[in-house]
Amino acid sequence: MRRFLFVLTALSAVLLSCNQSDSPAEKRAAAIRRNKGSVVIAAAGSWSVSSNNLWQGISLATEEVNMHGGVLGRNLSVMKVDDQNTVTAGQQAAYKICENNLVSAVIGHVSSSISIQNAIIYQYYGVVMLSPYSVASKLTGQNFPFVFRNIQMDQDLGTAAADFCRQKGWNKVLIYNADTEYGQSLANWFEKRCPIDRIKIIDRKSFSTESSDIEMSETAESWRKNFRCDAIFLTGAMPFVAKAVLALHTSMPDTPIIGGETLVAQSLLGIAGMKAENVYATAIADMNSTSGAVLKFKTAFIAKFGFEPDTYALQGYDAVKLLVYAMQTAGSAEPVKIANALHTVTDWDGPAGPYDITSTGDVKGRPVVIQYVKNGQFVNAE
């Protein structure tokens, strides 16, 4: 913690004197300029505790890049670091990455709370940060020029969910959100949009990673007895959000649930079973698309790993290709030049596209797809 506070107090001075040769960012840039070996990026994720396919997507894209000549005429190398999906381990992972002066960029982290905390560390040490799965607005709201995401923001997801509720005629909605940065922020954006869509929020409660199945069931039963609603808006990370679905649909089986992108996961079906039916989610990409880019990605992924990719795999794949594009555009692996190139990306077109990168490092123009569980499968809503 003491080390983190030092970084916090030193950042403003570094930003004002970024040309000083003794700054960590300039030392990194100089080391990268001298490097004649592989171009190095890092991948920070909860590898030891998560079952998503983020790493598989990253490794597939890296393999393809190197098969086609690498980047800047050199191989691309990925430093894999585990953040264990905790704030403390996430900070340790960030420092481990930054200790390697040849790392130009990091693909990470998944959790919004970890990404938000570590953004200042990467900025201070001059490492481009590209988060593949952190949607909380606060991440890029810190206005660090080296910090980006290649996923829609919570504002986009919350707006899409509220608009869908209006389309379906769900005018009275309950909100059940995780008490995390992600869970609260997404729920806040949904609630903020509701008056525009003439939707009334009739009650809102939260749960934590410590909430028991019994506590969730008590909340669901209380709502069943005291309110008549059209739908429930639910936010949170796996596996807790799936446990919430199980509790809610046990007490209120006919009430549709709609939530964020974390619901689009096989673990929802594994935990909630048939209770997952009639659960809607704001998917960040259409994995059912028949577009050439999506089919090419899925075919390559299945050929390498033998199973279907999830959206985490898509995000990891997209992040590698986007960073490589920025390096090729800049003609350099220096972080400041990569960041400048990323800020100019327009109409980026891959299996996760098309989209632009804004001046704040956010994604613009990437559609949100509403999907729901039907007969044990995620299908696109009409």
Residue 75 forms part of a structural domain:
yes
Q: Are residues 268 and 312 in the same domain?
A: no
Q: Are residues 6 and 99 in the same domain?
A: yes
Q: Are residues 344 and 241 in the same domain?
A: no
Q: Are residues 120 and 57 in the same domain?
A: yes
Beta carbons within 10 angstroms of residue 66's beta carbon: 15
Residue 186 forms part of a structural domain:
yes
In eight-state DSSP terms, residue 198 is T
Q: Are residues 142 and 163 in the same domain?
A: no
Predicted pLDDT at 288: 86
Beta carbons within 10 angstroms of residue 51's beta carbon: 13
Q: Are residues 11 and 125 in the same domain?
A: yes
d(CA 325, CA 76): 12
Per residue in 305-324, pLDDT tens?
999 999 999 999 999 999 99
Q: Are residues 113 and 169 in the same domain?
A: no
Low pLDDT (below 50) residues in the chain: 1-10, 12-20
Residue 312 forms part of a structural domain:
yes
Per residue in 192-243, pLDDT tens?
999 999 999 999 999 998 999 999 999 999 999 999 999 999 999 999 999 9
Q: Mention every residue, 6+ apart, whose C-beta is less than 8 A from residue 346.
A: 356, 357
User: What residues make up the domain containing 177?
Assistant: 155-283
From 239, 260, 283, give the residue that closes a domain.
283
Q: Are residues 248 and 331 in the same domain?
A: no
d(CA 212, CA 296): 43
Q: Are residues 112 and 220 in the same domain?
A: no
pTM of the model: 0.90
CATH code, domain carrying 233: 3.40.50.2300
Residue 118 forms part of a structural domain:
yes
User: Would you give the end-to-end CA distance of the chain in angstroms?
Assistant: 49
In eight-state DSSP terms, residue 233 is E
Residue 370 forms part of a structural domain:
no
Q: Are residues 134 and 252 in the same domain?
A: no
Q: How many domains does the chain fold into?
A: 2
Residue 374 forms part of a structural domain:
no
Residue 363 DSSP SS3: strand
Task: Report residue 341 as tokens.
Answer: 């190139």
**Backbone dihedral region for residue 273 (phi beyond 0: left; psi -120 to 50: alpha; all else: beta):** left
Which of 152, 155, 151, 115 minimizes the C-alpha distance to 315? Answer: 151
* CB 105 within 8 Å of CB 128: yes
Predicted pLDDT at 12: 46
Predicted pLDDT at 350: 83
Predicted pLDDT at 21: 59
Predicted pLDDT at 290: 86
Beta carbons within 10 angstroms of residue 226's beta carbon: 9
Residue 60 forms part of a structural domain:
yes
Residue 111 forms part of a structural domain:
yes
Q: Are residues 15 and 136 in the same domain?
A: yes
Beta carbons within 10 angstroms of residue 220's beta carbon: 23
Q: Are residues 128 and 185 in the same domain?
A: no
